[in-house]
Structure 1
Amino acid sequence: MGATRSRYFITYDVSLYFGESEDLDAYDDLEEKAVLVFQKCTSKDEYIYALDWQHECYWINPNLYIQQNEFDEWTVPIFPNGDYYFFLHKDFQWEYLGHLWERTITIFGKELIKGFEKHHPRMFQKILRLG
């Protein structure tokens, strides 16, 4: 992709994965790749913010077990299936935003962009915006 050098954010259109998606493994792929990238962007003992804008928010360590709910999803899901979800570096060096109404995922920060370029989720096929 080569966007790392000059990009500060990338917004991916993930609208194909709302409703009855034929590629159900894409959700697991997104979780697996996100964990890998978050691990690469943090130290072993570092926590990041996991925010669900109208619910409980958490500190999570991507190098440890990420708590799941009764639907086997992360407590703050990585895919914006019902709300806005944010994963932020504690010093705000990077951010992952799942946007429900736009049906997008935006990656902010060079380090996170580089990580997702290396560990590219199947969902990240259609770029909507670059900045």
Structure 2
Amino acid sequence: MPQQQILTAMQQLAAEGKALTTAAVRARLTTPVPLSELLALVSRYKQDPQSLPPPLANIAASVSTSHRQDEQDNHTHLAARLATLEHTVAEQALRLARLEKLLMATLDGEKRLMANLNTAVKD
């Protein structure tokens, strides 16, 4: 864990454009860390800044951004799916209304036919 604290302090100094010295990094730390580890990381950074792993905060921010993008994609997918389902329900409601109208017309026709048959049989 001390390595992460040191890396975070180094990243802050670099982002501010300040020199990365052992004293400057140590001043940023909130808890004591082994001096040997601090010296090794600062020295390693000065030789090759890309050789150090990113602080966990960077990794967490990257994962968080990725998670938000996944959530946004999921919301977009769900919104599209909901729109499709709403359209299907509206179509089915129209179809049902037409079938009900046809059924009522058929029932009315059958009633008239039965009435005509009853009249014909009585006559």
User: Which structure shows the higher strand fraction?
Assistant: 1
User: Which structure shows the higher helix fraction?
Assistant: 2
Higher relative contact order (CA 8 A, sep 6+): 1
Q: Which has the larger radius of gyration?
A: 2
TM-score between the two structures when normalised by the length of structure 2: 0.23
TM-score between the two structures when normalised by the length of structure 1: 0.22
